Amino acid sequence: MSSVTASDGDKEGQGLVLQEAQGMGLPVLSTLHNGIPDGVLDGKSGFLVPERDVDGLAQKLDYLLENPQVWSEMGLAGRKFVEQHYDINKLNDKLVQIYQDLLNAKPNDAINIS
């Protein structure tokens, strides 16, 4: 997923397709763009290169093609990452807890949303 910042400054979000691919156990290749680095373990579940770095993108793609033995390890790392950070049930439970904390909070209480 080779995302780039548009000439007017517009950017893509995180790129759900990267989580879907990692969830399927595939290594991913993308750019250091907006929220994408938050969803990929660079060097572990895939590779990230600077925007518009065609040579860097080609080098990482060549590496993956020439080293299929790393696919399973990277795929497993990506799968575990997605299960830990993007499981809808865990995210829903976390959101419910935030709402419950807000409903039960007193005016000056600090709420933990992490």
Q: What is the CATH number for 72? A: 3.40.50.2000
Helices (H) and strands (E) in the chain, counts: 4, 2
Residue 101 included in any domain: no
Residue 10 included in any domain: no
Question: CA-to-CA distance for 26 and 19, rounded, in angstroms?
Answer: 10
Question: CA-to-CA distance for 10 and 5, rounded, in angstroms?
Answer: 6
pLDDT per residue as tens, the chain (114 positions): 999 989 999 998 777 899 999 999 999 999 999 999 999 999 999 999 999 999 999 999 999 999 999 999 999 999 999 999 999 999 999 999 999 999 998 877 777 776
Taking a C-beta distance cutoff of 8 angstroms, is the pair 24, 72 a contact?
no
Of the candidates 15, 14, 1, 23, the residue with the CA atom closest to the CA atom of residue 76: 23
Residue 70 included in any domain: yes
Residue 110 included in any domain: no
Tell me how many domains the chain contains. 1
Residue 42 included in any domain: yes
Residue 64 included in any domain: yes
Domain range for residue 63? 16-86
pTM of the predicted model as reported, rounded to 2 decimal places: 0.80
Residue 54 included in any domain: yes
Indicate the pairing of strand 28-31 with strand 46-49.
Answer: parallel
Taking a C-beta distance cutoff of 8 angstroms, is the pair 43, 78 a contact?
no
Residue 39 included in any domain: yes
